[in-house]
Amino acid sequence: MAFTADSIMTEMKAGKFSPLYFLQGDEPFFIDQITAYIEKNALTDAEKSFNQTILYGKDTTLTQVLESARRFPMMAMRQVIIVKEGQDLPDLARKASLDILNKYAENPVPSTVLVIALKNKKLDGRTPVKKTIEKNAVFLDAKKMYDNKVPAWVKQYCRTEGYKIKDRAVNLITEYIGNDLVRITNELEKLMLNYNKEATEITEALIAKHIGISREYNVFELQNALGTKDILKANRIVMYFNDNPKSNPFVVVVGTLYAYFSKLLMLHENFSKGDQELAKILSVNPYFIKDYRLAVSNFSYNKVLQIIEHLQEADLKAKGIRASLSDDENLKELVFKILH
């Protein structure tokens, strides 16, 4: 059966390791998380010398891996074999090799913990081996997280690490990085190294200081400036973006603003509903509903529709279609159209 990353981690933290793990999908964070835990914890340091083997797909074959998996451990209860970058296994698509894997998966060696990790590649779901692995192994298909799920995940990640984090800090890092969980955790880990978890709550100021995101000049603040029709602040942020285009690409700004005004449109259509229900509809933290309500009071339904058309046009320009101006001129024009 298919497992979730959380359920796999829970089992392993309870000391339960399975003979065969097959990890695949397009979200590398969960694949790396599980692989790293097994590498660190399935054996003691003394056992690792003779019983832990780390392989890379391009340096071995599936057939060789399975031959090694059938060996017995030396002076230990188990051996661990981890195949990283398994998508590079040269014989992964060969029927003969998949048949051998299928046979092994029918009856994995109980004294071996074999981990095969594929990134951005999957087994063909129609093949017998895929069905056998789902039945007899710990199988994970790690999917990219939807953008609207990332803030809650960041809060849970920080909580697991023993830290509290402000809602605005969560929004700042997710708006800046998006749904790249590997990068988000790398940045947060660097920040956490500098602070005592019992005494520290992660704030916007800490995010800005340690992750290199401007606290005042970011797309989240531009969104707020537009929502409150703060013309001076919006233009100041636009000037900063144009001076720092690599940190604030036009196409990313357009995408973020499109998502924001799409939420305003949904809010117009559901304005009479309560804050909690609106938060679910908009996929935002209830804390921010008051900001969205304020923005709706500044933009009529028809104006929001017009702005979305401007954003769709800007998206084409950002992608080189109908582009007659530079990105900085396009951004100035877009913000002017939104505010007037």
Please tell me the distance from the alpha carbon of residue 95 to that of residue 67, in angstroms, as a whole number: 17
135 and 11 both lie in a single domain: yes
The residues pairing with 291 across neighbouring beta strands, listed in sequence order, are none
Residue 323 binned pLDDT confidence (cut-offs 50, 70, 90): low
Query: What is the amino acid identity at position 22?
Result: F
Supply 177's token pair.
Answer: 């990085």
Q: Please, what is the average pLDDT of the chain? A: 90
The number of folded domains in the chain is: 3
Check whether residue 206 and residue 115 sit in a common domain: no
- Whether 327 and 282 map to the same domain: the answer is yes
29 and 131 part of one domain:
yes
- 20 shares its domain with 116: yes
Angle, vertex CA 148, rays to CA 310 and CA 276, nearest 5: 100
Q: Which of 142, 163, 195 is a domain's end point? A: 142
Classify strands 52-56 and 79-84 as parallel, antiparallel or unpaired: parallel
Residue 233's domain comprises: 219-339
CB 165 within 8 A of CB 158: yes
The enclosing domain of 27 has a CATH number of: 3.40.50.300
Residues written for the chain: 340
Q: For residue 42, give the DSSP letter.
A: S
- Collapsing DSSP to helix, strand or coil, 126 comes out as coil
Q: State pLDDT tens for residues 193-237.
A: 888 776 788 988 888 788 777 777 888 889 999 999 999 999 999
- Residue 1, pLDDT score: 59
CA-CA-CA-CA torsion for 62, 64, 67, 73, nearest 10 degrees?
-110
